[in-house]
Amino acid sequence: MAALQADGRRSNRDLAAALGVSPSTTLERVRSLRQRGVLAGVHYAVDLAQLGRPVQAMITVRLRPQSREVVLGFRNFATQLPETLQVFITTGAEDVLLHVAVPSTEALRDFVLDSLTKRREVAGVRTEVVFDHERKHVIPPADA
């Protein structure tokens, strides 16, 4: 799994050679991981600055009233916004955590004011600009 997480484009032959097993064994293992849902797609990492979205922020949102319908409705709304990278439903004082990427701090302000705070169910937001972001690309199983 680590080899595939590091480079999901590796050929089956290269993967087999790196693991020291036959290509047919590798193919069966990868096929099994896909069927069990352990591997779910192959994705490229995107440089947000190259896409014109160099400013990232984490925005916590408090919703009222708190109900499944309100939380899931807001989640579905936020997921559809082009600025949104990730949406997390959380516990604690806030209900939702959004990871967003925008062209500038002015665009971030406009996003918060025009897209988020004017919604009736939004009781409060807190925005924190991300200075640096590193993503761990190889995740071992919990029992490793």
CATH number at 102 reads 3.30.70.920
Mean per-residue pLDDT for 111-138?
95
Verify that 59 and 120 share a domain, yes or no: yes
Beta strands in 90-134 (DSSP E): 96-102, 122-130
Predicted pLDDT of residue 77: 98
9 and 63 co-located in one domain:
no
Position 61 scores a pLDDT of: 98
Q: 58: which 2 tokens?
A: 């984490």
**What is the extent of the structural domain holding 112?**
55-130
Mean pLDDT for 74-100 is 97
pTM for this one? Answer: 0.84
**Residues 18 and 66 placed together within one structural domain of the fold:** no
Whether residue 43 lies inside any domain: the answer is no
- Our count of domains for the chain comes to 2
Burial class of residue 56 in the structure, from the number of CB atoms within 10 Å of its CB (0-12 exposed, 13-18 middle, 19+ buried): buried
Other Cβ atoms closer than 10 A to 139: 10
Q: Are residues 66 and 125 in the same domain?
A: yes
In a domain, residue 44? The reply is no
Pair (24, 59) in one structural domain: no
